Amino acid sequence: MSAQPAQTLLEIKDLRKYFPVQKGFLKRTVGYVKAVDGVSLSVAAGETLGIVGESGSGKTTLGRTLLRLYEPTSGDVTLHVDGQDVPIMDLSGSELRVLRRNAQMIFQDPYASLNPRMTVLETVGEPLFVNGIASGREMEERVREVILQVGLRVEHLRRYPHSFSGGQRQRIGIARALVVKPRLVVADEPVSALDVSIQAQILNLLKDLQAQYQLTYLFISHAMNVVRYMCDRIAVMYAGKLVEVGTKHDILKSPKHPYTEALLASVPRTTSRVRKRVVSAGEVPDLANLPSGCVFHPRCKYAVERCKVEVPQLRALDSTRLVSCHRAEELELQGI
């Protein structure tokens, strides 16, 4: 990233999304799954910020909530576009169009995310029509343009999703996200459902499109090697909270949170030896019933008494690094 202070595109303040846990015949709410629990984060225009963490850490919920695909429990999210501050959480009804024109999502599963009854033209054109951007000939022309940019052909426009491969379907999903010329794209595991052989093609396509459209990416992934390839900065999530945020270089070379170290230790060092388990000791905690103190303490090999009782706050370690660990200064952790 350049040394110039970048403009902030997205500001997330204390965002929460709790899902009610219901029991019994009367479906009484007996607790909450705190899938996103007080996340604050700034994203600079043009950067790619990786969101990493194990399955169930709240990555998808974070992405969906900040785009208002889920209603938030609380918190503020502001999108700064064209000199305007768009208060995402306050938008209602047709006001949401402002958000949809500027922020889009690419989904993990290119099989489940496309409507099988819609042609490529209808699928990709729909966001233009629904958000009052273009219709008719104008819509069709814009769809043709974006279809070519994602590496599909004009003759594909009249076909249905079933006639495409996984990689081609993901290209359709990318075209649908980009057709409105958004500023922000939340890409939720965009290649993890694809064959390894085509993952690189899609990642390279996303990089090319980022340059062409001047996009800002929030790139959700559990695969550290993919994040390493794509991202400028990395935010590490654990049990609904951010535990560490920093530049890619700092996070990979010198992690400051024991959970980040554990995630990095599971990155395969050679292609022949793929380690399956992401973090070894213990299970991901029950988000409806979190441990006391530092929620990572039952799995942390550096835990001390203080960790069982006192919740560590996310705090600035230096001008670019945030970390929530009582022992961040004293521990010497292993990077890759």
Ligand X SMILES: Nc1ncnc2c1ncn2[C@@H]1O[C@H](COP(=O)(O)OP(=O)(O)OP(=O)(O)O)[C@@H](O)[C@H]1O
State which residue, 175 or 263, has the beta carbon closest to ligand X.
263
Q: Residue 56 CB, nearest distance to Mg ion (Å)?
A: 8
The residues near 75 (Cβ < 8 Å, ≥ 6 apart) are 12, 13, 14, 15, 16, 38, 39, 89
Q: Residue 234 CB, nearest distance to Mg ion (Å)?
A: 16
Q: How many residues bind Mg ion (CB under 5 A)?
A: 1
Indicate the burial class of 31 (C-beta count within 10 angstroms; 0-12, 13-18, 19 or more): middle
Binding site for ligand SF4 (CB under 6 A): 257-258, 294, 296-297, 300, 302-303, 307, 312, 325-327
State which residue, 61 or 199, has the beta carbon closest to ligand X.
61
Q: Is 123 in the site for ligand X (CB under 6 A)?
A: no
SS3 content of the chain, % helix, strand, coil (to 5): 35, 25, 40
State which residue, 240 or 258, has the beta carbon closest to ligand SF4.
258
Q: How far is CA 166 from the centre of its chain?
A: 20
The stretch among 57-65, 81-89, 115-123, 195-203 that binds ligand X (CB under 6 A) is: 57-65
Strand partners, 16: 37, 74
Q: Residue 298 CB, nearest distance to ligand X (Å)?
A: 17
Q: Rule CB under 6 A: which of 59-98 touch ligand X?
A: 59-61
In this structure, what DSSP letter does residue 95 have? G
Q: Is 260 in the site for Mg ion (CB under 5 A)?
A: no
**Can you tell me which of 29, 55, 270, 319 binds ligand X, judged by CB under 6 A?**
55
Q: Residue 106 CB, nearest distance to Mg ion (Å)?
A: 13
State which residue, 226 or 235, has the beta carbon closest to ligand SF4.
235
Q: Residue 242 CB, nearest distance to ligand SF4 (Å)?
A: 13
State which residue, 264 or 307, has the beta carbon closest to ligand SF4.
307
The stretch among 43-51, 56-64, 262-270, 295-303 that binds Mg ion (CB under 5 A) is: 56-64
Q: Rule CB under 6 A: which of 22-51 touch ligand X?
A: 33, 35
> Residue 53 touches which of Mg ion, ligand SF4, ligand X, none (CB < 5 to 8 A by kind)?
ligand X
As a dihedral over the C-alpha atoms of residue 247, residue 248, residue 252, residue 258, rounded to 10 degrees, the angle is: 50
- Tokens 């996984």 correspond to what residue? 166
Instruction: For residue 118, give the amino acid letter.
Output: M
State which residue, 8 or 225, has the beta carbon closest to ligand X.
225
Q: Is 60 in the site for Mg ion (CB under 5 A)?
A: yes
Q: How many CB atoms lie within 10 A of CB 333?
A: 18
> Residue 55 touches which of Mg ion, ligand SF4, ligand X, none (CB < 5 to 8 A by kind)?
ligand X
Cα 275 to Cα 136, 218, 271, 272, 299: the distances in Å are: 51, 26, 10, 10, 19
Nearest to 235 by CA among 253, 215, 214, 221: 221
Q: How far apart are CA 202 and CA 210, in angstroms?
A: 12
Cα 299 to Cα 45, 212, 259, 325: the distances in Å are: 36, 43, 9, 13
DSSP letters of 61-92? HHHHHHTTSS--SEEEEEEEETTEEEEGGG--
Q: Residue 34 CB, nearest distance to ligand X (Å)?
A: 8
State which residue, 60 or 65, has the beta carbon closest to Mg ion.
60
Q: Residue 276 CB, nearest distance to ligand X (Å)?
A: 14
Angle between helices 136-149 and 166-178 (to 10 degrees): 130
Nearest to 218 by CA among 204, 198, 232, 203: 232
Q: Rule CB under 6 A: which of 189-248 touch ligand X?
A: 222
Interface residues with ligand X (CB under 6 A) are: 19, 33, 35, 53, 55-61, 222, 287
Interface residues with Mg ion (CB under 5 A) are: 60
